[in-house]
Structure 1
Amino acid sequence: MATPAFEEIAETFEFLDDWEDRYRHVIELGREMPPLDEAFRVPATKVDGCASQVWILPRIEGEGPQASFDFQGESDAMIVRGLIAVLHALYSGLTVEEVGMVDAAAELGRLGLNDHLSSQRSNGLRAMVQRIRDVAAQTAAAA
């Protein structure tokens, strides 16, 4: 299950043969994201397990399993900011119930990211996915 925005990223990756071009594309996606206001860069939104500083601010509309999921994110590392943009494309607009059904490893595997990220970046990416899934699961269960 992938959103149209994520499918667009996957299609772009298919056309980019060189990993340096793919990295540049991920960084560009990060540059296009709106910045997260400093007021939200606090311990409550910080993602542990990332080598870089990472903040994820969930924005959920509605209640229970059918609540709509979105988030803002920020990082002090450009490539990580781009990875946040990729995750935003993967999850934004889904219901919190659907967020739990996304096989992030498989979807991100389609991009080949696991083979080209350092172990620290891969661990950070997993930590971001887990934070997103946890927030969605808590919202779905609160019904």
Structure 2
Amino acid sequence: MLRTLVAAGVRPRLLMRDPALHEGMLRTAMHLERPMPWVDPRDIAEVAAARLLAPWTRGGVQAVHGPRDLSFAEVADLLTGVLGRPVRAERIADDDLRAVLRGVGLGEAQVEAIVGMSAGLRDGFVAEQARTVATTTPSTLERWVTAHLRPLLPP
């Protein structure tokens, strides 16, 4: 469940209008070369709706991993291609991440939740469910960036 929630937050975090993204910098407290799932929130909603509408079963976890794992370095390259301008990934300290999140208007509880999730993922998190055909969803980060991020950034 945590992996789903964290992965769900990654794409919306690109929308937080961090001024650095406008300047071609993708800042993160994560390791730049460590791949992780990038999941479209719509895919999570579709999986959740399907589970809610299915016959009731007791408990269980349904991971949602997106179509492929990407490192922040790969995401910066992807953004460069889709946005048509250079984007570079930069690793920042947790305190710098806190400042970025406060700068985009998040409250302290939200800031600490995101920093805590980032630290947990960065420092040895192991997913409860491995990627399988059942946990892999179709929406690519390229498609999401084209539809949701590119229109918000100046040319």
Q: Do the two structures share a fold, i.e. TM-score over 0.5?
A: no
* TM-score under structure 1 length normalisation: 0.29
Q: Which is greater in Rg?
A: 2
* TM-score under structure 2 length normalisation: 0.28
* Structure with the largest fraction of helix: 1
